[in-house]
Amino acid sequence: MSDPENQYFVLTLPLKPELWQQDILEKRFEVNRQIYNALLDKAVKQYKQMAQTKAYRTNREKLLHTAEKEERKKLLQERDALVEKYRLRSFDICREATQYRQHFKEHTDSPIVQNLASEVWQAIDGLVKGTANQVYPKKQGQLKTLSGKTNRSSVKFREDSLVWKGLNIPVDKRKLTWYEEQALKQEIRYCRIKRTVIRGKDRYFLEIVLKGSVPVKEKPEAPGTVGLDIGRQKLSLVSQDNTSVYILPIKNQGLEFKKRKLSQYMERSRKSMNPENYHPNGRIKKGSAHWVYSRNYQKARKQYQELCRKQTVLQKQAQYRLAGKISSSGTCFYIEETGSAKADEVKIDPSYRTNTAPARFLKILEYKLNQQGKQLLF
């Protein structure tokens, strides 16, 4: 189990910005997106210069074929020296970001730009280590969060409001739940603004990262050990007093039907607008880069994205309810190993299409049990 001192959780509260405040938030998200892309573009150019050198190519080839510990250590030190030479360290990218922060100081600040620079470094580090083959700039609307580092500067939570660079945006004035009241009594580590598209419109939320464990109501629960066996559709539970079989939450079939109809329409529209990108047998030509999308296609794509969002939310809510029910069945939970050792390593046969998301459910169950100080053992 994790150290309680290092535990944290996130409380999400909806924001209620006025129109002029929403316009400012949109502009700030766009400015920071462009900063991210500028940093990424420069870092990619520096990486390409390094990747063309014989020293880097030789080092990478040796790392792929060397297993001896001491030899690999020397090769990694050589690679680190190259990374430092071409200014691809996290420190270098953060220092490069200073000029953008100073130029756009009305729309951003140091903690946010540093977090963007860290994201750029993680992307480039994937190229350096060979865990990624390509990195991509963020398209318009793809930057989802702006995050501070503490609750003392940058994005802050003060008296039921978001405070940031002249903006004072209240959270939703609805009555707080017991969970939210208890959570806000804990120490705030930092805050971030999250942008989500709901029903075709941008919605803004304040995510408060709090120190400690999640508030949990005291509930009567059965003591003892519980055995679990999860399949693609069902979960079997055996405890000292009970034996139960639960059906894993499935996707809403009405939404799935609408998604399928929209997907078919979008494919017909795309094919009619781009006949040159298709073979006579209907398959897409390899390397087709230029696509034209009609207005109706773009409208249908937004509807499809909204259906996907709804589907995910509804299924996750059902999974959390089931996980809460199972977590009260005992204090120690054992799950049968079915070729997968941990919740994040559950493997489903790709030839079998499942709409129950068993791997995600196991992660949710493990998270619920950790909240209550219980264990899920494999």
| pLDDT tens digits, one per residue of 21-77 | 999 999 999 999 999 999 999 999 999 999 999 999 999 999 999 889 999 999 999
Indicate whether 240 and 368 sit together in one domain: yes
Residue 241 has pLDDT above 90, yes or no: no
Residue 216 domain flag: no
Instruction: Say if residue 77 is in the same domain as residue 193.
Output: no
Is residue 268 located within the same domain as residue 244?
A: yes
| pTM, rounded to two decimals | 0.81
Q: Please write the tens of the pLDDT for every residue from 259-292.
A: 999 999 999 999 999 999 999 998 999 888 899 9
Q: Is 153 in the same domain as 112?
A: no
Residues 165-190: tens digit of each pLDDT: 999 999 987 778 888 889 999 999 99
Number of domains within the chain: 3
From 80-84, 184-188, 240-244, 316-320, the region with the lowest mean pLDDT: 240-244
Domain range spanning residue 299?
Answer: 225-377
Does 50 reside within a domain?
Answer: yes
204 bridge partner residues:
195
Has residue 219 been placed in a domain? no
- Domain check: are 238 and 364 in the same one? yes
| 217 is a domain residue | no
Label residue 327 by pLDDT band (50, 70, 90): confident
232 and 172 fall within a common domain = no
Pair 159, 283 in one domain: no
Tell me the pLDDT band of 3, cut-offs 50, 70 and 90: low
Residue 254 lies in a domain: yes
Is the pLDDT at 347 greater than 70? The verdict is: no
Within-domain flag for 156? yes
